[in-house]
Structure 1
Amino acid sequence: MINPQEVIEKYSIKDLCESADDYYKSIANPWPQMAKPFSSVVEAPELLINMGQLLSGLKLGKTMRVLEFGAGACWFSRFLSQMQCATVACDTSATAIGIGKRLFHEYPIIGDYVAAPEFLVFDGHRIDLPDESVDRIICFDTFHHIPNQEEVLAEFFRVLRDGGIAGFSEPGRYHSRSPQSQYEMANFKVLENDVDLDGIFKLANRIGFEQCQATIVNAGKTVFFIHKGVAMPDSRGHEGLAYAMKAERTSYKVGRSEQLVIDVDILNSGGAKWLCKNFGDLGVVKLGAHLYDANRNLLNLDFARSCFARDVLPGESVSNAITVTFPHAGKFYLSLDLVSESICWFENVGATPAQIEVTVQ
């Protein structure tokens, strides 16, 4: 029975990086790597379950910059880009990164990228990114191959922004004893280490990570998260979107060609920060108006918009105004709601819009 510590003592970090690249060089047909998680009917269910647990705990938002550490053929990075994240794929194997570039080129995502995918080769010690430059880190079935866990965790802490989360999906604490792990360590220069959560969490705490969470999923697999500071959600995702809104008046009479200006006071009563600007307007919060006829039939969902001058933090109150002009004379109803662009209307997650009755003469 090979002890993983023997592998760590026998091979240098450079040796292990080279063996990882040799593995990818030996692959004659990369399609099974590129087609994950659907390349195997046996592996797909487990991979999808673990992916779901990981994505749920990371609390991703559109346009977040996400580092996939140990990306391999970059199939997970491609799905992150599909979810409109700004993806950085990093691996010790330049050959694997080359396969990933081919995957993105030959099978691009549906729609537009929020940012072109980035690709990095990891030297085993330092991630080639500036301090505090990523929002999230994903490590999917990779950390148990890492001999210098404390050094790598320190790099995660360095490149994560305050409030960032690193999420891991890894095998269990007896991984090294499995027949497959023993075979790999006996025949190839590869580390198949056990995942000791207590030990990993102690290292993480010593480095500065504050919150550690773990979930045991199917077949003893472990999904766990470490947080740098407190993660405040923002309007790039659904979590924490709520308000209390009060309009200056609830009924108006205006002339047919007259512009109506409606003043409102709004409290951010949720836990998420409202962004006033972002790439492509994604996740930007605005005051919006739906237009209904006299029988409250919807005429125009996106009747009007009004921007905020600054970000709005949880607990803050702001004043805003929206200007509207009606298409013809008659009786109308306006429903004033907030929208996080390309994310959702706040009403869809439980907020109560302000109702305005307007008579156009």
Structure 2
Amino acid sequence: MSSEELWAFENRDAASINRASDRSEAQADERQDVTTSLSFPLHWTSATESWNYLFDVSIACELLAPRPDDLILDFAAGTCWATELLARVAVRTISVDLSLEMMRRGRERLGADRRLVFRDEAEFVVARGQALPFADDTFDGVLCLNALHHLPSYAAALREIRRVLKPGGRAVFSEPGTAHAVQPLSQFRMREESVLEKSVSLPLIRRLAMEAGFSRITVVPLRSPSAYAFEYGGTPDDDALLRQMWDETVRRAPGEHARFVLHNGDDPPSDTLLPADKLVGRLNADIVLENISAAVRVGQPFTDRLRITNTGDLTWKARGRRFGGQVTCGLKICDAGGEVLREDLGRTGLPRDVMPGEEIEIEMTVAGDLPAGRYGLCYDMVVEGVTWFEFQGSPCPRRSLEVLS
């Protein structure tokens, strides 16, 4: 087909698309004894196949970069093997697939391991890719692994994915390339198993994605690891050969494997819910002691009022997940020489998220559990579970406190 014929085929009327979905739905559950396994992606016939699947999901999750509070849609999830791997790194998911049996298998997968953090919160939904039963702007990210090429219409699926994706969200795809449909195995599956196998043309995907409302596409030119090992016998030491490998990768990768990201607008601003190794920006605070208690008696609690300005470029999140990420104001206690004795004398949460440049006032009440003596107090902000601001170069005001007997 020409590019215009492909575009017209992908944008054919909804009735035609639904008829194709009906045929797939009628045949999907009949194939489960052959095509599904709770051990997938650990392939029972070939270790190489297993490594390639694990490579795919590793690259896809790195591109997706889910944050601790994100909700991810596993689109056309199949046996939910990617859902399981996301659950193992504590990512919240909803899985959707055309097959009821697939969703039953997915629930069985996650239910088999009590260690999975969000096992009981995961949802499994039977639905067509062109008619997702979710509200607009529901998901922070979408993951689609080796499934888009089975759908009757790329255009209809991309419109739905864009609709349910939040502004700033990403949809990450790992699909076969431009020659997929003509491969012998694809031809066999279409002929003998009635499986829809389509090639994935990145120029066509880009056009359909832009028409669906996505802002841009990022292409990731990576081939499977086995391709390099087969052709080069490992990583070459010669610079010229390395450049040749890269040039060939960029040239050949789209034909072999289409890895790409569709962006729904600009990326969201960085905030403290990002994993520690993903924090890009400065954690910095200006803390002014407005009203303090210079002396208290043993057993007497005290309250300090603080004015705090976010002078960095990361948004401070007031609420985190069970693994942290929220910002609080902490009070450390020091001896006369400035040595920190306790880092948890007091903690006070933020009243709301604090954007860069914004100012808040908080009151910090500290229990009176210090013995008599003279102490140094240090006020600092902390990303719970990640770091104190002081360790990132942020100044910390200090003062003395007299505890009287």
Could you say which TM-score interval applies, normalised by the shorter chain? Answer: 0.7 to 0.9
The answer to whether the Cα contact below 8 Å between 1:326 and 1:360 also exists between their aligned partners in 2 is: no
Higher RCO (C-alpha under 8 Å, 6+ residues apart) = 1
| Larger mean Cα displacement after TM superposition, 320-329 or 59-68 | 320-329
**In the alignment, what sits opposite 2:272?**
235
| Larger mean Cα displacement after TM superposition, 289-298 or 184-193 | 289-298
Is the alpha carbon distance of 1:260 and 1:13 closer, same or farther for their aligned partners in structure 2, counting shifts above 3 Å?
closer
- TM, length-normalised to structure 2: 0.75
**Runs of 4+ displaced beyond 6 Å:** 7-11
**In the alignment, what sits opposite 1:18?**
26
Residue 302 of structure 1 deviates from its aligned partner by 3.2
Q: In structure 1, give the amino acid aligned to 2:153.
A: N
**Structure whose residues are more often helix by fraction:** 2
Paired with 1:26 and 1:76, the residues of 2 have a C-alpha distance of 19
Paired with 1:76 and 1:276, the residues of 2 have a C-alpha distance of 30
Does residue 1:338 correspond to 2:382, yes or no? yes
Q: In structure 2, give the amino acid aligned to 1:22.
A: E
The answer to whether the Cα contact below 8 Å between 1:246 and 1:265 also exists between their aligned partners in 2 is: yes
Residue 165 of structure 1 deviates from its aligned partner by 1.4
Unaligned runs of 5+ in 1: none
Q: Which of 96, 114, 134 is equivalent to 1:90?
A: 96
**In the alignment, what sits opposite 1:81?**
87
Paired with 2:177 and 2:392, the residues of 1 have a C-alpha distance of 39
**In the alignment, what sits opposite 1:246?**
286
What are the within-5 Å matches in structure 2 for residues 1-361 of structure 1?
Answer: 12-26=20-34, 30-33=37-40, 36=41, 41-110=47-116, 112-113=117-118, 116-219=121-224, 220=253, 221-232=257-268, 233-238=270-275, 239-240=279-280, 242-248=282-288, 253-257=294-298, 259=302, 261=304, 263-271=306-314, 273-277=315-319, 282-294=324-336, 297-324=339-366, 325=368, 327-328=370-371, 329-339=373-383, 341=384, 343-347=385-389, 350=392, 352-361=394-403
Paired with 1:348 and 1:334, the residues of 2 have a C-alpha distance of 10
CA displacement 1:296-341 (0-9 Å, x = unmatched): 55443333211222222234333334343562324335251232x4
Paired with 1:174 and 1:255, the residues of 2 have a C-alpha distance of 77
The answer to whether the Cα contact below 8 Å between 1:25 and 1:95 also exists between their aligned partners in 2 is: no
Paired with 1:348 and 1:174, the residues of 2 have a C-alpha distance of 54
The answer to whether the Cα contact below 8 Å between 1:17 and 1:124 also exists between their aligned partners in 2 is: no
Is the alpha carbon distance of 1:301 and 1:174 closer, same or farther for their aligned partners in structure 2, counting shifts above 3 Å?
farther
**Residue aligned with 2:47, SS:** coil
Paired with 2:370 and 2:304, the residues of 1 have a C-alpha distance of 16
Pick the structure with greater CA Rg: 2
Q: In structure 2, give the amino acid aligned to 1:317.
A: E
The answer to whether the Cα contact below 8 Å between 1:21 and 1:93 also exists between their aligned partners in 2 is: yes
Is the alpha carbon distance of 1:334 and 1:74 closer, same or farther for their aligned partners in structure 2, counting shifts above 3 Å?
same
Is the alpha carbon distance of 1:268 and 1:69 closer, same or farther for their aligned partners in structure 2, counting shifts above 3 Å?
farther
Q: Percent identity?
A: 23
| Larger mean Cα displacement after TM superposition, 131-140 or 16-25 | 16-25
- TM, length-normalised to structure 1: 0.83
Unaligned runs of 5+ in 2: 1-5, 11-15, 225-252
**Residue aligned with 1:126, SS:** coil
The answer to whether the Cα contact below 8 Å between 1:164 and 1:229 also exists between their aligned partners in 2 is: yes
Paired with 2:194 and 2:388, the residues of 1 have a C-alpha distance of 53
CA displacement 1:106-130 (0-9 Å, x = unmatched): 22334x4286111111234311212
